[in-house]
Structure formats: structure tokens, C-alpha cells
């Protein structure tokens, strides 16, 4: 039978931006998917080369616009490593709190988009967005901006946390824990949802490693790799933190891994606040100056567990500018695995797989 070739995107309700998938179908079964990316390619890596070190963080935030702080922090941490600047214990905890809040916000956004892609006429979507907005409000309290914070400074963050920030955050976390139960009742106890997710888009552990997928996709396959545990940064070592893994590698495991990660993040934030009280050092970093200290290391490589997986930056230093900045974005490599995962599934499953891989096209294209 002749194959049908359909073109999905770049403008399509569930490609999360401007992904274009050229899908070959045999009836309703997918034979081959070829993702076309680059519609959002801005050449960030090249742009950075023309700017001073601390002129770039606003650009970095736009790489992953769902979790801007993660990329911001990653870039600043890379520059810190190159310039040989230490982050104090207190600033480390502050950054951890902000990063984990950002992770929760990003995951809630994702829960919404998954249910929407499965065809739930926006109910889960709105719920996810509502709770995400509460977190964004907290981040706004702490940083002064709702989405694009540019909050990281060399050696710390922009400013001290406001007085009632801790109290508000703890209150919000309690509320979130209650809401997570509600999500479970609403989404996970729905038999049709389970039907659509369980056993769909299975990725075996060997394939996952060979394809190099990261983040929740990798952990859902049973690989115990979380940068926060395996290569700890800031004060993650001091917390009793366990990466969440499941072994089925299907859509449902990816979903559950993320739900568990939210719960884990809630715990991390609580612990961090507790430890923050007795932490030493200064929370506020150096003010932004165009001219920064001379780099100590010629090459700096830093990796972080961003909400979407392991993000990494490889920085080669010039005197005052980056000579070359190479960004490993987690979604780029996860999208490369899409053809492998979705082959042989039905067209309807393509979108649930695409959704659970959690694409942010800006992050893919850089």
C-alpha cells in the first residue's frame, strides 16, 4: 500500500511551537517521522561571541522560555567557573530554591500540555497553568519579574529574598501538595488516560542510552542519572535527595517520574529554607559590570539538571568575551529520538509521545 505523507506543523496546535514533522503513514501507522527544526534558530551561540560576559544572560533566558531561570543560572555558573568566582553557601541555597521553584512551574506547565494534547479540551491545561501562575507570583516576589528574571549575578543573586517570601513559599507548597492529589484523582485515575499512556512509546534502556536521551525520558527507562545526585552542584549533597526512576520507559512512566519530581522538589525547597537560616555568606552577588575579572580557566564546562533534562554549556574564554559557547539543550537530543520511539505507533499516539518528551522548540533550535 502506498504511504501517505502528511506534514504536521510548523503551525499546529500540539507541536508546542514551530516543530514540523513530516510523517509517513501506512494507513494509521507511522512508518517514519522526520522532524524539521530550525524555525526558531536564532544563533544564540554566535550572538554570545559578540557580547561581554554579563550582557548575555537575557539572551540565555530566551533559550528555554518555559524555564528561563535554569538556562540563566547555567550560563552564569559557567562564567563563574571560568572566572574563578565562588558562590557562597547562602547564595547556593537561594539559587537552589529558585531553581526548584522554576522546575515545579515548568513541570506544571507540562502536565497541562500533556492532557491537552491527549484531547481533554483544556481542563488539565488550565489547572496546570493556574498552579504555575502561583509559583510565578512567588518568583516575581523574589526576583521582580514574572517570567524573564535575569536574576543571577556573579557569585549570587540580584537581591535578598523579601521578608515574607519564606512564609509564602511554604504556604504555597502545602497548597501544591494538596493539588497534586487532585491531579492524581483527576488525571491518573481516568481509565482512558491510562489506556492512552500505558505501554505507549516504550523506549528500552539500551536504546535510551544509545540515543542519548536525558532527563525524565532517561529516568523513566530505569537509568539512575540525575545531575543533582551524580554530579552535585551547590548544596545538593547536603540534602537527602534521591533521583526518581521508573523502569517501564513508556508515556505513563515519564508522566509519573515528573509527578514524583514535583514532590521531590517540594521537599528540596523546604529543606533548603531550613538550611538557609544557618547558612553563611552573602546572598547578593557582584553588581553587573561590563568589564569582568580576568578568566582563570580557559575552558569551563558545567552541566545542570534543567527541568527538561541535562543542560550543559561548554565555554571557551577570550579575555572579556566568550570565544565560543556551545550549548547542549536537553530537548534537542530528546527530539532526535522521536523517530525511534514513535515508529510503529498510531498517528494518535504520536502526539502523546511528542507531548511526554516535553518539547520547547526554542530550546531545540537555540
Partner 1 sequence: MLIDNLTGYFYSGLNSPNILVSILFVIIYAIIISILMSVFAYVFGWVERKMIAKTQYRHGPTYVGKYGIFQNLADFIKLLSKEKMVPGNADRFLLNVAPVLLVSITVFIIFLIPFSPYLQASNLGLGLLVIFVFLGFTPLLLFVAGYSSGGKFAELGAQRSVLMLISYEIPMIIVVATVGFAAGSYNLNSIIRMQSTLPYAILMPIGLIIFFIAMLAELERPPFDLREADSELIAGWLTDISAPYYALALMLDYTRMFMGSLIIAILFFAGWSGPILPGIFWLIIKAFIISVFIIIVRVTVVRMRIDKILKLGWMYLLPLSLINLLLTLIIVIL
Partner 2 sequence: MNIERAALLPTIEKMKQSGFDYLVKITAVDYIKKINVIYILRSLEQNKDEILEVEIDPTDAWIESIMKFYLGADWYERELQEMFGVKIKGRVAKRLLLEKWDGKGFPLRKNFVWNKSYDKE
Q: Which three cell numbers stand for residue 271?
A: 529543606
* Cα gap 305→105, rounded to integer Å: 15
Q: Is the dihedral of CA 330, 229, 132, 258 positive or negative?
A: positive
Stretch that binds partner 2, among 80-88, 96-104, 139-147, 328-336 (CB under 8 A): 328-336
Q: Please, what's the largest Cα pairwise distance for the chain?
A: 70
Q: Among partner 1, partner 2, none, what binds residue 230 when CB lies within 5 to 8 Å by partner kind?
A: partner 2
* Cα gap 203→348, rounded to integer Å: 18
The number of beta carbons lying within 10 Å of the beta carbon of residue 98 is 25
326 is an interface residue for partner 1 by CB under 8 A: no
Residue 46 CA to chain centroid, in angstroms? 23
- The answer to whether the CB of 82 falls within 8 A of the CB of 317 is yes
* DSSP three-state, residue 152: strand
Q: 81 or 196: whose CB is closer to partner 1?
A: 196
Q: How far is the CB of 213 from partner 2 (least distance, A)?
A: 8
**Which member of 3, 42, 123, 144 binds partner 1 (CB under 8 A)?**
123
**Which member of 26, 28, 46, 122 binds partner 2 (CB under 8 A)?**
46
230 is an interface residue for partner 2 by CB under 8 A: yes
The enclosing H or E element of 280 equals: none
344 is an interface residue for partner 2 by CB under 8 A: no
168-197 residues in contact with partner 1 (CB under 8 A) are 186, 190, 192-193, 195-196
Q: Among partner 1, partner 2, none, what binds residue 268 when CB lies within 5 to 8 Å by partner kind?
A: none
* Cα gap 105→42, rounded to integer Å: 25
**Which member of 351, 353, 365, 366 binds partner 1 (CB under 8 A)?**
351
Question: 169-206: b or e for each residue (b if 16 or more CB lie within 10 Å)?
Answer: beebbeebeebbeebeebbeeeeebeebbeebbbbeee
Q: Which three cell numbers stand for residue 127?
A: 489547572
**Which member of 222, 301, 321, 347 binds partner 2 (CB under 8 A)?**
301
Mark residue 312 as left, alpha or beta (left: phi above 0; alpha: psi -120 to 50; beta: remaining): beta
2-21 residues in contact with partner 1 (CB under 8 A) are 4, 6-7, 12-14
36 is an interface residue for partner 1 by CB under 8 A: no
With contacts defined by CB under 8 A, how many residues of the chain interact with partner 2? Answer: 33
233-292 residues in contact with partner 2 (CB under 8 A) are none
Q: How far is the CB of 323 from partner 2 (least distance, A)?
A: 7
E strand spans, the chain: 4-8, 20-26, 29-36, 152-153, 156-157, 299-306, 309-317, 322-328
User: What is the binding site for partner 1 (CB under 8 A)?
Assistant: 4, 6-7, 12-14, 28, 115-123, 125-127, 130, 186, 190, 192-193, 195-196, 346-351
User: What is the binding site for partner 2 (CB under 8 A)?
Assistant: 37-39, 41, 43, 45-46, 207, 209-213, 223, 225, 230-231, 301, 303, 310, 312, 314, 316, 323-324, 326, 328, 332-333, 336-337, 340, 365
Amino acid at each position: 500500500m502506498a504511504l501517505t505523507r502528511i506534514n504536521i506543523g510548523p503551525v499546529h496546535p500540539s507541536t508546542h511551537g514551530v516543530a514540523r514533522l513530516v510523517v509517513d503513514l501506512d494507513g494509521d501507522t507511522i512508518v517514519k517521522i522526520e522532524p524539521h527544526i530550525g524555525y526558531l534558530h536564532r544563533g544564540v551561540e554566535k550572538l554570545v561571541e559578540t557580547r561581554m560576559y554579563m550582557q548575555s544572560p537575557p539572551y540565555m533566558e530566551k533559550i528555554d522560555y518555559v524555564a528561563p531561570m535554569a538556562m540563566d543560572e547555567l550560563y552564569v555558573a559557567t562564567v563563574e567557573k571560568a572566572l574563578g568566582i565562588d558562590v557562597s553557601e547562602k547564595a547556593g541555597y537561594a539559587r537552589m530554591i529558585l531553581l526548584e521553584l522554576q522546575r515545579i512551574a515548568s513541570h506544571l506547565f507540562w502536565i497541562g500540555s500533556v492532557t491537552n494534547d491527549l484531547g481533554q479540551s483544556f481542563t488539565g491545561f488550565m489547572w496546570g497553568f493556574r498552579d504555575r501562575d502561583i509559583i510565578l507570583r512567588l518568583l516575581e516576589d523574589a526576583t521582580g519579574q514574572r517570567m524573564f528574571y535575569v536574576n543571577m549575578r556573579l557569585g549570587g543573586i540580584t537581591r535578598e529574598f523579601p521578608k515574607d517570601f519564606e512564609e509564602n513559599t511554604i504556604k504555597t507548597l502545602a497548597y501544591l501538595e494538596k493539588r497534586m492529589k487532585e491531579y492524581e484523582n483527576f488525571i491518573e485515575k481516568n481509565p482512558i488516560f491510562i489506556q492512552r499512556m500505558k505501554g505507549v512509546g516504550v523506549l528500552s534502556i539500551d536504546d535510551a542510552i544509545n540515543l542519548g536521551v536525558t532527563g525524565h525520558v532517561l529516568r523513566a527507562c530505569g537509568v539512575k542519572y540525575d545531575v543533582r545526585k551524580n554530579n552535585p552542584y551547590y548544596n545538593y549533597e547536603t540534602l537527602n535527595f534521591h533521583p526518581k526512576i521508573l523502569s517501564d520507559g513508556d508515556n505513563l512512566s515519564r508522566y509519573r517520574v515528573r509527578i514524583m519530581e514535583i514532590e521531590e522538589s517540594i521537599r528540596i525547597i523546604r529543606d533548603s529554607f531550613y538550611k538557609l537560616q544557618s547558612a553563611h555568606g552573602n546572598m547578593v552577588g557582584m553588581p553587573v559590570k561590563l568589564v569582568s575579572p580576568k578568566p582563570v580557566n580557559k575552558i569551563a564546562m558545567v552541566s545542570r539538571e534543567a527541568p527538561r533534562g541535562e543542560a550543559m554549556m561548554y565555554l571557551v574564554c577570550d579575555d572579556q568575551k566568550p570565544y565560543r559557547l556551545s550549548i547542549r539543550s536537553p530537548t534537542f537530543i530528546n527530539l532526535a529520538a522521536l523517530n525511534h520511539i514513535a515508529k510503529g505507533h498510531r498517528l494518535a499516539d504520536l502526539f502523546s509521545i511528542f507531548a511526554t518528551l516535553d518539547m520547547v522548540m526554542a530550546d531545540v533550535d537555540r
